[in-house]
């Protein structure tokens, strides 16, 4: 992970985007984050998604080869 401090955590920004827009493709979510956080790399983004999934905050499911769907856990119920 980079040593850059953000005023808002990337996790909270991801949760905010998913609450506002609903489920998104991982590439759409990455591009939306890149508008605010220029230093975010795809590897770091994937680590953050994995961490959030392990914490039970989001669900990442495979759509087709190379495409994933990211959604909030409580949005499925």
Q: Round to whole Å and give the CA distance between 74 and 77.
A: 6
**Residue range 6-18, pLDDT digits in tens:** 555 889 999 999 9
Total structural domains in the chain?
1
Neighbours of 39 (CB within 10 A): 10
2 in any annotated domain: no
Closest to 13 measured CA to CA, from 66, 67, 49, 41: 49
18 in any annotated domain: yes
32 in any annotated domain: yes
pTM (2 d.p.): 0.81
5 in any annotated domain: no
The CATH number that applies at residue 53 is 1.10.10.10
**Residue range 37-74, pLDDT digits in tens:** 888 899 999 999 999 999 999 999 998 888 999 999 98
Q: Where are the alpha helices (DSSP H) in the chain?
A: 10-21, 26-34, 42-54
Q: Which range marks the domain in which residue 63 is found?
A: 10-72
Neighbours of 14 (CB within 10 A): 23
Model confidence band, residue 77 (pLDDT cutoffs 50, 70, 90)? very low
């Amino acid at each position: 992970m980079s040593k850059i401090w953000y005023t808002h955590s990337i996790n909270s920004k991801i949760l905010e985007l998913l609450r506002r827009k609903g489920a998104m493709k991982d590439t759409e979510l990455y591009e939306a984050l890149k508008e605010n956080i220029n230093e975010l790399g795809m590897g770091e983004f994937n680590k953050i998604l994995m961490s959030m999934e392990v914490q039970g905050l989001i669900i990442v499911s495979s759509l087709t080869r190379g495409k994933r769907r990211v959604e909030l856990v409580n949005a499925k119920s």
